[in-house]
Chains A and B, each alone.
Chain A
Amino acid sequence: MKNENLYNYILGIADNSLILGQRMGELCGHGPSLETDIACTNISLDLFGQVRSYFQYAGKIAGDGRTEDDIAMLRKEREYKNVLLVEQPNTNFAYSIGRQFLFDVYHLAFLEQLQKSTDLTLSAIANKCIKEVSYHERFSSDWVKRFGDGTEESKAKMQEAINDLWTYTDELFHQTEADKAMVAEGIGVDVTKLKEAYYKNVGELLEESTLEIPESKWFQKGGKNGVHTEHLGYLLSDLQYMQRAYPNMEW
Chain B
Amino acid sequence: MSDKKNWPLWEVFVRSKNGLEHRHCGSLHAADEDMALENARDVYTRRSEGVSIWVVESKHITASNPEHNGELFDPAHDKVYRHPTFYDLPDEVKHM
Instruction: Write the residues of chain A forming the contact surface with B, with a CB cutoff of 8 angstroms.
Output: 33-36, 38-39, 42, 135, 138-139, 142, 146, 151
Q: Is the CB of A38 within 8 A of B38?
A: no
Q: Is the CB of B4 within 8 A of A35?
A: no
A24 to chain B, nearest CB (A): 12
In the complex, A33 Cα to B34 Cα: how many Å? 16
In the complex, A46 Cα to B30 Cα: how many Å? 23
Q: A142-B34, A142-B38 given as contacts; is B29 within 8 A of A35 (CB)?
A: yes
Surface stretch bound by A, among B39-47, B60-68, B84-92:
B39-47
In the complex, A42 Cα to B39 Cα: how many Å? 11
- Choice from A35, A138, A142 contacting B28 with Cβ under 8 Å: A35
7 A-B interface contacts by CB (under 8 A): A35-B42, A39-B42, A42-B42, A135-B41, A142-B34, A142-B38, A151-B4
Question: For this complex, into which size category does the number of interface residues on chain B fall?
Answer: 10 to 19
Does B25 belong to the interface (CB within 8 Å)?
A: no
- Choice from B30, B35, B43 contacting A38 with Cβ under 8 Å: B43
In the complex, A235 Cα to B46 Cα: how many Å? 27
For residue B72, which residues in chain A have a CB less than 8 angstroms away from its CB? none
B70 to chain A, nearest CB (A): 37
Q: A33-B7, A35-B28 given as contacts; is B42 within 8 A of A142 (CB)?
A: no
B31 to chain A, nearest CB (A): 7
Q: Is the CB of B43 within 8 A of A35?
A: yes
- Choice from A33, A42, A138, A146 contacting B29 with Cβ under 8 Å: A33
Q: A33-B7, A39-B38, A139-B38 given as contacts; is B31 within 8 A of A146 (CB)?
A: yes
